[in-house]
């Protein structure tokens, strides 16, 4: 789960930018090592198997490359010094090249030729709020407001509740999705029953789960509260695309939230550039397509793969 308490930075501070670059290099290095080690271990395990295992290491390498790219997308979106889609893409390209350059020489010692390269990206909008002591009302204080009304997909939708006492039972904080083309509606409410040490995730017309304890982290895509799953929960069940996302009774929850949507049309009247209040960065990366090559003495495997962080949360 992504850290919802992102540090704020002064973009005029050269020292902060140097630290950002250093952190970026370390992040790419760690991801490259993870891809390399996972692939090496998997390949060594396959060495003890028969002919049926041929090519399986290539599929494992593809999975590692996708997972690494997903981490890099999240890092690029959350650690930009310049809010520009072109800069996001350039930094992601550099990061993927660095990941490939870090893992390919090591895998080559085992006789494998590998290559990962960025093919295309999908632009989206990163929406969130950093101030853990604020409710989820809009920048202007609206308690019922639409985040965006032309959404093709939502990923990495996470909430960090910092004061469960603010979770009201009579008018609970509500996340409402509605299809733009029809009457399909999906609604989930979040509240805390007085005197209990659990947070309730209540899908209208669906499952209700009292799980996760007080002040939990909630993965809205997956339906987990404090790491515990809500059985029968399915995000956006029955909702056709495009759809809108609306917050209702947003004054009855306190904490941080973050999500990335496949849309670049946020309702700007509800946002500000101050990340302590709701913000919308419509220059973010929603997803990417990479080309993966894995070649050895017994196979040549080349394919395009889609990297969408948080896609498999649910």
Distance separating alpha carbons of residues 306 and 196, to the nearest angstrom? 42
279, 125 in Cβ contact below 8 A?
no
260, 126 in Cβ contact below 8 A?
yes
149: its two tokens: 């009304």
76, 98 in Cβ contact below 8 A?
no
pLDDT at 8 (0 to 100): 44
Q: Is the dihedral of CA 271, 274, 278, 284 positive or negative?
A: positive
284, 121 in Cβ contact below 8 A?
no
Q: Name the residue with tokens 């390269």.
A: 117
pLDDT at 221 (0 to 100): 96
pLDDT at 70 (0 to 100): 95
Mean pLDDT per segment of 10 residues, for the chain of length 314 residues? 48 48 55 53 44 68 93 88 84 92 83 92 96 97 97 97 94 97 93 86 96 95 95 96 97 98 93 95 95 90 94 54
Q: 0.85 exceeded by the pTM?
A: no
pLDDT at 154 (0 to 100): 97
Distance separating alpha carbons of residues 258 and 179, to the nearest angstrom? 21
pLDDT at 314 (0 to 100): 40
Query: Who's near 212: CB < 8 A, 6+ residues apart?
Result: 198, 199, 201, 218, 224, 225, 226, 227, 228
The neighbouring-strand residues paired with 135 are 254
Q: Residue 159 CB: number of other CB atoms within 10 A?
A: 22
- Measure the CA dihedral 92/95/101/106, to 10°: -120
């Amino acid at each position: 789960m992504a850290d919802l308490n992102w540090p704020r930075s002064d973009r005029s501070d050269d020292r902060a930018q140097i630290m950002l670059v250093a952190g970026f290099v370390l992040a790419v290095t760690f991801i490259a090592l993870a891809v390399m080690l996972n692939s090496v271990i998997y390949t060594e395990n396959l060495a003890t198997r028969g002919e049926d295992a041929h090519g399986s290491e290539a599929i494992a390498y593809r999975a590692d490359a996708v997972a690494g790219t997903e981490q890099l997308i999240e890092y690029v979106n959350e650690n930009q010094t310049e809010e520009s889609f072109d800069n996001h893409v350039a930094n992601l390209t550099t990061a993927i090249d660095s990941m490939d350059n870090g893992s390919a020489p090591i895998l080559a010692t085992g006789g494998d030729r590998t290559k990962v390269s960025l093919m295309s990206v999908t632009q989206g909008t990163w929406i969130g709020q950093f101030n853990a002591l604020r409710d989820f009302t809009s920048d202007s204080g609206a308690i019922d407001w639409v985040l965006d009304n032309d959404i093709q997909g939502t990923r990495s939708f996470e909430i960090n509740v910092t004061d469960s006492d603010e979770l009201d039972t009579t008018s609970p904080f509500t996340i409402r999705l509605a299809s733009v083309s029809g009457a399909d509606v999906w609604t989930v409410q979040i509240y805390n029953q007085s005197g209990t040490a659990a947070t309730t995730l209540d899908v209208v017309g669906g499952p209700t789960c009292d799980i996760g304890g007080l002040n939990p982290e909630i993965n809205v895509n997956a339906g987990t509260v404090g790491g515990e799953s809500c059985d029968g929960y399915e995000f956006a069940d029955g909702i056709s695309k495009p759809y809108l996302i609306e917050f209702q009774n947003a004054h009855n929850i306190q904490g941080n939230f973050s999500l990335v949507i496949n849309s670049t049309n946020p309702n700007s009247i509800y946002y500000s550039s101050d990340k302590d209040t709701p913000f919308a960065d419509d220059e973010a990366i929603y997803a990417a397509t990479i080309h993966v090559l894995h070649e050895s003495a017994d196979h040549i495997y080349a394919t395009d793969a889609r990297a969408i962080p948080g896609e498999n949360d649910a």
